[in-house]
Chain A
Amino acid sequence: MRQIIKFLEKYRYFLLFIILEFIALSFTIQSHSYHRSKFVNSANSITGGIYGKLNSINEFWSLKSENQRLLEENTRLKNILSLEPIEIDSTKYTSRYRYFSAKIIKNDYTKRNNYLLINKGSKNGVKPEMAVVNSKGIIGVTKSVSNHNTTVISILNKYSQVNAKPKNTNHFGTLSWNGKDYKTVQLLDLPRQAQFKVGDTIITGGKSTIFPEGILIGTIKDFEKNDNVYNFINITLFNDMSSLSNVNIIANIQRKEIQELENTNNE
């Protein structure tokens, strides 16, 4: 016993180092898992508050371009509205998705795994795994939710996997990012039968419970085909991920129902 105490005393500095390093690495590995909500995130009130204050100052610089974008979106939506028949029969019409508005208060795009922070939280009805988009297209998926803030896994993240397809086909692939350029993402696992050419539009596939079908992503920049298998397909994003401000969160109302159905199928 005494020997153990002596040993601990002699190496306590080293042991402390090992223990703390172990804690830090376990935080790191926990943050790699998609489903486990992690302890270290910027959605808490202190960091969220500081970023919120900072954003209220920085917002000023992008007001003009952001106003322009919102104006264009409004015009587009009004045009769509004017095409719709005026009477909506509420017995036939059931909406599958609900939209919230939010603002991005921290934006990252330089790291390998980027997370954004938005200023709406569980008090506003936000939950984990909801879609985040703006009028130009896809942005990410919500992850950790606190009372007033939520972290978002950007599509510029190794752990972001979004179901996507070329607009004119029904072949699906997975959207991922290789970490090189924040304007370009990659489409993987697209079956070789899929036909497309450079410049085609890529949209979300709607085969997940998170994103509705038809959210814009980008256009095909270039691709390489080898032995009838696509080596890579690069996609230029419509969104400029380096300047984002106002976003929409999309909640799938039927999500729980779909998941319950899927679970019963698995049994």
Chain B
Amino acid sequence: MNNNTTKHIIWFVLFVLLQVLIFNNIKLFGYINPYIYIAFVFFYPLKKEKTTFLFLSFLLGLCIDFFSDTGGINASATLFIAYFRLPILSAILRKNDFDFLLFNIRSISFGKSLLYVLSLTFIHHLIIFALEYFNLNEFGSIINKTIITTILTVFLIFIGIILFTKKR
């Protein structure tokens, strides 16, 4: 228990530092920065206390906001996907009584885990860019940026999954 808490805190700090020090400076094609820190939301165990998880996601987003001067954009988007993680996962796995105590992203099929990561990433990025532009006239730019960034983020997160998790 204690060991696990320490592990989550370390991951939390690591994701913040990785995001602000490295991935905010990638600038692919001159303007695309992936938001890899949301992998924290994907990997946080489902069996843990849900309120703590909401608070942690909110704090994670707020930390990124502090670094990148974005008001509360990252906090609200991360909180949103944290809240809707469970409903989306149970919709994808098509049963309500799946064994989420033992849930592991490598234990479900590749297609399903891709759908899980892809849908949450897309929602997150859509909220981020919609709040950042805050103008319906620029809807084209919002969608454009959301799609390109989602592809890059999902790609990087899957590389991370393959490199850093054990296959069950």
Given contacts A21-B79, A21-B80, A110-B31, contact A31 B70 (CB under 8 A): yes
> Does the CB pair A41–B132 fall under 8 Å?
no
Task: Determine if B133 is an interface residue (Cβ-Cβ < 8 Å).
Answer: yes
Tell which of A9-17, A82-90, A191-199 binds the partner. A9-17
Distance from B22 Cβ to chain A, minimum over Cβ atoms (Å): 10
Contact of A47 among B32, B61, B67, B131 (CB under 8 A): B67
Kindly state the separation between the CA atoms of A259 and B104 in the bound complex, as whole angstroms: 62
CB distance from B118 to the nearest CB of A (A): 23
Closest to A116 in B: B69
B79 neighbours in A (Cβ, 8 Å) = 17, 20-21, 24
- Return chain A residues, CB-CB under 8 Å to B67: 42, 47, 50-51
For B83, the closest partner residue in chain A by CB is A17
Q: Given the known A-B contacts A24-B58, A28-B76, are A42 and B66 also in contact in the complex, defined by CB atoms under 8 Å? A: yes
**Interface residues contributed by chain B, number (CB under 8 Å):** 36
* Nearest chain A residue, comparing its CB with the CB of B29: A110
A230 at interface, CB cutoff 8 A: no
A31 touches B71 (CB 8 A): yes
Contacts of B76 in A (CB 8 A): 21, 24-25, 28
Kindly state the interface size class of chain A when it binds its partner.
35 or more
Given A20-B54, A21-B80, A179-B141, are A27 and B132 also a contact pair (CB < 8 Å)? Answer: no
Q: Describe B's contact surface by its main secondary structure.
A: helix
Q: Does A71 contact B (CB under 8 A)?
A: no
- Whether A180 and B141, one on each chain, are in contact in the complex, defined by CB atoms closer than 8 angstroms, is yes
State the CA gap A42–B66 with chains docked (Å).
5
Contact status of A110 and B32, CB under 8 A, knowing A20-B54, A179-B133, A179-B141: yes
Q: Is the CB of A24 within 8 A of B75?
A: yes
Q: Can you name the residue of chain A whose Cβ is closest to the Cβ of B61?
A: A24
Evaluate contact between B71 and A40: CB separation under 8 angstroms: yes
- Complex: A23 Cα to B58 Cα, angstroms: 10
Return A154 CB to nearest CB of chain B, in Å: 10
Interface presence of A127 (CB below 8 A)? no
Whether A108 contacts B75 in the complex (CB less than 8 A), given A24-B62, A40-B62, A182-B30, comes out as no
Q: What are 30 of the A-B contact pairs (CB < 8 Å)?
A: A13-B51, A13-B54, A16-B54, A17-B79, A20-B58, A21-B76, A23-B72, A23-B75, A27-B71, A28-B70, A28-B71, A28-B73, A28-B131, A31-B69, A31-B70, A31-B71, A40-B62, A40-B66, A40-B69, A40-B71, A42-B68, A47-B66, A50-B20, A50-B21, A110-B30, A110-B33, A111-B132, A112-B133, A117-B69, A179-B133
Name B residues whose Cβ lies closer than 8 Å to a Cβ of A: 20-21, 27, 30-33, 50-51, 54-55, 58, 61-62, 65-73, 75-76, 79-80, 83, 129, 131-135, 138, 141
